[in-house]
Structure 1
Amino acid sequence: MKSFNLIIGLAIMASSCKKTETKSEPLASLNVITAVIGGGNVKLNTNERDSVKAHNWKTFGIVPGKEIWLYKTGNPVVSYYKETPATENGGVYSIFLAGQGSTFEPIFMKENLPAFYKDSIFGVRIVNLSPNSTPVNVTLASAAGTNVFTSVAYKQVTGITTFPLRTVIPAGTVSFQIRNEAGVLLATYTLPTSANSNYPGISIALQRFKNMNIVVKGLMGTTTGPDAFGVFPVVTSY
């Protein structure tokens, strides 16, 4: 009798488990980077809380094959991107939001990022999202006469170049200088020793063995305000 009751109990438990079993949807990763002139925070689809800050980035999980709609927070009429691009389960994608006025020029791309590096190095690529800029060169502060990236035009995403990032860091080797083609210094980005609240995923320790973007933003010639010419960092290793 006890054996019979045990069998019945196990059968009920198995039936209950089957009833509550849920099937998870496939997911892909989407990194949204915002640099629209005159823009602001950006919303994805109907997300209630998650938004991307201006001149920043955020990573979202998305369902492959579904529409991606990115619009200005609080004003869905200002639509930066509304398409259904080819996406797949487990894929990693980026959308760079650029443009100004009513002309928006998003860049959608599937990422094919190198694996984590074994040596003490980090990877960098440059993304030029300054709509009125001439092509820019990039040097290290430690070797200002040598271009590490050359003639990066508006909406261009360079390949990844690796740089040493050992425990002892020689002066100027993690400071990237944005220059015009005449060599005039326009902006500098230095990898910080510790992360800050605006870019919490970026520091020397956090970027070792990984990759990052340095995004050129704003209007060339503008020196004040939110659309001043400058740079900001974006994580590209997840």
Structure 2
Amino acid sequence: MGGALTLTLAALAYPSMIGVSTVTTAQDRVIENTQWGPLTEADRDFVVKVRAAGLWEYPVGQIGLQKGGTQAVKVASQHLVDGHAGLDDTCRKIAPLLNITLPNLASPQQQGFVTQLQSESGKQFDSDFANILRMTHGSIFNTVAKIRSTTKNSLVRQLADQANVTVLDHITVMEKTGLVNFDQTLFNQTTPPKLPAVDLTPPPPAAGQPQVVLTPPANSTETPQQIPGASPTIG
């Protein structure tokens, strides 16, 4: 798959490797005072979550463009690729300004979603694609709203604005496939499996490892965000 190579469902403290299933008691703790406003643990974790989401949803979108059995699934796949390339560009622009370390790999759970969908085909692929992605986007949607309403950091606020539009778009295109089993998906969304913390946390990047870039497609509909003080991203 070209470009690069998964979504984190709860709070994580990165790169201290606290599992996303465990909400820290100090999410409002200020960890950095920046010219864009104070940065809290929750703010930092949100930037990492958005990055991690793209690291699995972008390749799944590429898979869907190849395997999707209906036009609606292919459209949803294109939205995944476009949307997460755009969000990834913003994450990579603001992370160095805020002294945030970004992962290069998704969590084991997220990588498992990719592996599962890679192994499927036909109607099974289409159904699992729509339901897994509707579940994960529904889970992160509440987090986006909470960060947007509470952060005092203008860069995090800008990312939350962008994520709000993108996540809602992705929820909508999954529902338009007509394949979402709402009862099961909403149950899975509100009652996630209790997995070990290590399965829910993206590993930190290896020292000296080049940063993974989610390259926008040639026909991308996303407009790169203008970030004051940010260096141009590569990709």
Shorter-normalised TM-score: what interval? under 0.3
Computing the radius of gyration from Cα coordinates, the structure with the larger value is 1
**Structure with the higher helix share, 1 or 2:** 2
**Structure with the higher strand share, 1 or 2:** 1
Q: Which TM-score applies when normalising by structure 1?
A: 0.25
Q: Which TM-score applies when normalising by structure 2?
A: 0.25
